Amino acid sequence: MSVTSTTNRPSPDDLLVLLAVGRTGRYVSAAEELGINHTTISRRIAALEQALGGRVLIRGASGWELTELGREALTAAEAIETAVRSLTSDTPALEGVVRMSATDGFSAYIAAPAIAALQRRHPKLSVEIVTATRLASLQRSGSDIEVVVGKPQLRRARAIELGEYTLGLYAAHSYLAGHPAPATVDDLARHPLVYFIDSMLQVDDLDLAPTFAPAMRESLSSTNVFVHVEATRAAAGLGLLPCFMADRHPDLTRVLSDVSVRLTYWLVVRPETLRRPEVATLVEALREQVHTQRDMLMGAPDPGRELPESSS
């Protein structure tokens, strides 16, 4: 059914409500964005459906999804939004709020500098980051963008490969002062491991301990990778750490440098959300930042860092 095939004229305000719901998949998130209540969102969508003569949204497994008619209406809503912005701004500067979810390390060392640079060009752009290490599910948090580890399997979202990064085994100089550095994988059985809490790990690609170092006992585990880094620096054991985080600390040394794990960051975004200029621009900024920091992400060896001598 085409939007233009009915005689009723939909309200521009109702179309903009549909735009907010279509981008987030949630009435609550749309209400927060527009500054109205949940009941008003529901009433506006009902009025739009009556004007268009059909359903624009259907309830999906993880939120509201656009029907074919809804996607046509969304295109009209985007045109209205663009027209309104052109009347209220003399420049094509980006504005509004973009919500994203990403892992702790990516948020701090990839997203933060990319966003800061972007905001210097577009000071009215606001970005909210929720840090989480989990499977992709855009509807769950109302995020516009999610960055996850491992290729996601989602039907109604676009997955964009950002780039690879490397995990390596690291030890603090203070730890190696009292423990012999492992020379082989078999030597790892004599060392405790600092890593994720196995029972709370949601991402299969990060479930490495059972196969990577099955003989290592867990020393200190956490859901937060920054805790892994600081525990390793505090000599709690050998840390299985992202190289781009560990290599920033001169008191950490990589051991068994030929032993590594390579993982991939993926960005997930709804197609209708990606059409927002501010979202598309942020996605491109994140891709460029990953490319710029590729050597650091891959753990390029530093010939100037030497393994300290142990006391054993």
Per-residue pLDDT of the chain (312 residues; tens, 9 = 90+): 445 444 578 999 999 899 888 877 788 888 888 889 989 999 999 999 999 999 999 887 667 888 889 888 888 888 888 777 777 655 567 888 898 999 999 999 999 999 999 999 999 899 999 988 766 565 444 688 999 998 887 767 889 999 999 999 999 999 999 999 999 988 998 999 998 877 555 566 566 666 666 678 888 889 899 999 999 999 999 999 999 999 999 999 999 988 888 999 999 998 888 888 899 999 999 999 999 999 999 986 654 455 555 444
Say how many CA atoms lie within 13 Å of 82 toward its Cβ: 9
CA proximity to 169, closest of 198, 193, 201: 193
One-letter amino acid identity for 45? I
State residue 154's pLDDT score: 74
State residue 108's pLDDT score: 97
State residue 303's pLDDT score: 45
Give the tokens for residue 278. Answer: 């501010």
State residue 160's pLDDT score: 94
Beta-strand relationship, 193-195 and 218-221: parallel
Over the Cα atoms of the chain, what is R_g?
24
Quote the CA–CA distance of 265 and 162 in Å, as a whole number: 5
Quote the CA–CA distance of 109 and 124 in Å, as a whole number: 22
* Strand order, beta sheet including 193-195: 125-131, 96-102, 145-149, 252-269, 158-172, 238-242, 193-195, 218-221
Beta-strand relationship, 145-149 and 252-269: antiparallel
State residue 264's pLDDT score: 93
Classify residue 283 by its DSSP letter: H
